[in-house]
Amino acid sequence: MNDLSNALTETHQNHRHCCNFEPIPTVALYILVFLFFVAFGFSIFILIVVHNAIFFISSLFLLALVLACLIWNVLNWSKNRAILIFLNSFPESDLSSAKDGQLVKITGSASCGDVSLESSFEKVPRCIYSSTCLYERRIFQSKAAFVNSRCYQWSLAYSERFSTDFYITDNKSGTRATVKAGSGAKVTPLIAESTIINTTSEHRVLSTYLRKWLGDRNLSTEARLLRLNEGYVKEGSLVTVIGLLHRNNDVVMIVQPPELISTGCLWKKLLFPVDIEGLILRVPESASIVGLTSISKRPSNE
């Protein structure tokens, strides 16, 4: 079993940081700021000496374009859009003809290996991946139950995210392969989560089951604004995996690539390159909609 909770917490903290400009490198930002001040100072000099505002207006227009491009990339990075575009454009592989050491994209039915998972809140058995995230929102004059909680925004208070080794049966060839997503593996999950608990300012009373779930994890059970999201991939689900193919006699495995995978520059979408670490795990949209429908049957307000 592979615990991905720490990686999730680090990612969430980066998203919350007011100075976070992923995926733009910090060095590139410093260079852009330096060039802007140089160009802005020179344009002011031209405006004062020559009384020509064209260069000054052009500098402001160029600055607006650069800022728009940066903001566009930051917003899309938080939604994993570059990774999703890369995943959709990557050609499907055939396990029967793919070579050892080749980066492959396989879509097929998932089945559990020696270890299966159970979703934390819904208690769904026989899963290959499970993620449960508890968020807290603190309003003015309310007491935060968690140290990292901030006013007027949802803060990640607790998370459980796990993956495990599983089997995938290639839709193209029918070949079965072992996906090494278990202990020690780096995994980038692109699995949608559904909100199954969402307390409101008018109705903050926590259900008995939710209070028990919080108590079992030594979390505060006091009434407050909470949101609980959960997502999972159950055995038999259709999944897509991108990883490195490894053959050893008759054993076929998909393991994490030794190096980062880059999406490359997506010029048509004005998106900068994004580096992806480890295996990529995704549920196709049609299968994801079915799974989320079954999750959302639980009332959203507790």
Long-range (24+ apart) CB contacts under 8 A made by 51-58 are none
What pLDDT, on the 0 to 100 scale, is given for residue 239? 94
Mean pLDDT over the full length of the chain: 80
Tell me the domain boundaries of the chain: 1-78, 79-296
| Span between the terminal Cα atoms of the chain, in Å | 31
What's the pLDDT tens digit per position in 262-300? 888 888 888 888 888 889 999 876 544 344 433 333 444
What pLDDT, on the 0 to 100 scale, is given for residue 7? 67
Nearest alpha carbon to residue 194 among 46, 79, 293: 293
191, 282 in Cβ contact below 8 A? yes
Nearest alpha carbon to residue 63 among 24, 42, 26, 37: 37
What pLDDT, on the 0 to 100 scale, is given for residue 224? 79
- Token pair in block for residue 148: 């990292």
- Dihedral (C-alpha) 41, 47, 50, 51: value to the nearest 10 degrees? -170
Instruction: Name residue 240's amino acid.
Output: T
Nearest alpha carbon to residue 95 among 245, 219, 234: 245
Phi, psi of 218 (to 5 degrees): 60, 35
What pLDDT, on the 0 to 100 scale, is given for residue 103? 92
3-state SS, one letter per residue, for 32-80:
HHHHHHHHHHHHHHHHHHCCCCHHHHHHHHHHHHHHHHHHHHHHHHHCC
243, 104 in Cβ contact below 8 A? yes
What's the pLDDT tens digit per position in 109-127? 999 988 999 999 999 999 9
Q: From residue 198, how far is each of 126, 210, 252 by CA, in Å?
A: 26, 11, 43
**How far is the C-alpha of 225 from the C-alpha of 150, rounded, in Å?**
12
Q: At what angle do helices 54-78 and 26-49 cross, to 10 degrees?
A: 160
The residue ranges of the chain whose pLDDT is under 70 are: 7-25, 138-152, 201-204, 285-302
13, 147 in Cβ contact below 8 A? no
